[in-house]
Amino acid sequence: MTVSNDTNQLAPSPFFIVMNAGSGDKDAVQREDAIRSVLAAGKRPYRLWRVSDIRRLPEAAREAVLLARQQQGTVVAAGGDGTINAVVREVLPSGSPFGVLPQGTFNYFSRAHGIPLDTEEACSLLLHGVLRPVQVGLVNQRPFLVNASLGLYPKLLEKREVHKQRFGRSRFVAALSGLATLLAPPPRLVLALDDGAGSDVVHICTLVVDNNLLQLRQVGLPEARAVQQGELAAIAVKAQGVGQLISALALAVLGKLGEADAVESFSFKRLSVKPLHGGRRIKVATDGEVTWMVPPLVFQAAPDSLLLVVPRSKTVGGEGG
């Protein structure tokens, strides 16, 4: 990593940008043009990988990290939280500086760190921002920036993807898919949780481990204070039926999830999770991407921080933009 005399200030160096364009996305062309225009005006060298097949994201990210290390450059992810996660998996072990050009639906990671949602503004930030260490969560050594979950949420994500492929990719289809999943009987998980201070057996429909101040504040959980200080927040939803689940979701929308009877939350430094019933693998969603993992699942903050390009006057957990 190359920095100027101000240890937080990025020195002029090349950017290596991995962009999730999406097949046939006309907006992606406009975003790419905006990126090239801003960097050309700033006279900053760069290389951009425009990836239409998400299966090629890891390959492009590895190449970007290799060149960034060779040329003391900054790796940049252009996309939503899932794209950012895919690139961070390669960046985190390298220690390279990291930038974000948010292009997703919710953009929780970018917003929590004050990164503008407008592509031109976010690209300008790359030229004038500073480096700050940012906490990354791990589940069995797999990084996550926003949250990791098991139970209902991975199921919802998988159903949504099936419905999008069948009916088209739109927010309307995503909303109907989510509603259909929520109206079905929620899954039942029996988990043994061990945070080092003691173990407990819980019967829940979903477990979410959160690493995002903004998301925790929006749903109204006090554990937001602990996140980014070496701890993560666990949210166990114990809803036994559709009615309790809908009630908890309504309170989350109102920013009062902490008042839900069917929800228990706590902060921790290390949490071991082991299903007491089921197969040898369990589905886990990390920043919206579903994968299979072998229990026990161990959640903790990564020992090394991510060096993120942020605004000089960034407010942690702010809305950004």
Every domain of the chain and the residues it spans: 15-135+305-310, 143-149+187-301
In CATH terms, the fold of domain 143-149+187-301 is Tumour Suppressor Smad4 (2.60.200)
Give 252's contacts (C-beta < 8 A, 6+ positions apart): 219, 220, 260
Top CATH class of 15-135+305-310 equals: alpha beta
More confidently predicted of 100 and 162: 100
Q: Which phi and psi (to 5°) does residue 215 adopt?
A: -65, -40
Give the CA-trace dihedral at 287, 288, 294, 300, to 10 degrees: 20
Does this chain's domain 15-135+305-310 share its CATH topology with 143-149+187-301?
no
pLDDT value of position 11: 59
Mean pLDDT of 128-151: 95
d(CA 119, CA 260): 38
Indicate the pTM of the whole model: 0.85
How confident is residue 256, by pLDDT bands cut at 50, 70 and 90?
A: confident
How confident is residue 178, by pLDDT bands cut at 50, 70 and 90?
A: very low
- Among 10-14, 94-98, 186-190, 311-315, which range has the highest average pLDDT? 94-98
pLDDT value of position 280: 84
More confidently predicted of 266 and 161: 266
pLDDT value of position 115: 96
More confidently predicted of 194 and 4: 194
Please name the amino acid found at residue 275.
Answer: P
How confident is residue 242, by pLDDT bands cut at 50, 70 and 90?
A: confident
**DSSP secondary-structure letter at 117?**
S
How confident is residue 185, by pLDDT bands cut at 50, 70 and 90?
A: low
Q: Quick one: what percent of the chain has pLDDT higher than 90?
A: 56
pLDDT over threshold 70, residue 183 = no
Peptide bond into 14 cis (omega under 30): no
How confident is residue 176, by pLDDT bands cut at 50, 70 and 90?
A: very low
- Integer angstrom CA distances of residue 50 from 47, 54, 225, 251, 288: 10, 10, 38, 40, 21
How confident is residue 85, by pLDDT bands cut at 50, 70 and 90?
A: very high
Q: Which of 148, 113, 149 is nearest to 131 (CA)?
A: 113
pLDDT over threshold 50, residue 164 = no
pLDDT over threshold 90, residue 308 = yes
d(CA 233, CA 219): 13
pLDDT over threshold 80, residue 310 = yes
More confidently predicted of 157 and 253: 253
pLDDT over threshold 70, residue 3 = no
Q: Quick one: what percent of the chain has pLDDT higher than 70?
A: 82
3-state helix, strand, coil in the chain (%, to 5): 35, 30, 30
Q: Is 46 left (phi over 0), alpha (psi -120 to 50) or beta?
A: beta
Mean pLDDT over all residues of the chain? 84
Mean pLDDT of 69-79: 96
Give the CA-trace dihedral at 196, 108, 226, 188, to 10 degrees: -40
Question: Which three-class secondary structure state does DSSP give residue 268?
Answer: strand
Q: Where are the beta strands (DSSP E) in the chain?
A: 15-20, 46-51, 74-79, 98-102, 130-134, 137-139, 142-144, 147-151, 189-194, 199-204, 206-210, 232-237, 263-268, 270-275, 282-286, 289-293, 297-301, 306-310
- Among 8-17, 242-251, 293-302, which range has the highest average pLDDT? 293-302
Q: Which of 252, 247, 190, 187 is nearest to 218 (CA)?
A: 252
Which single residue is written with the structure tokens 């990354």?
136
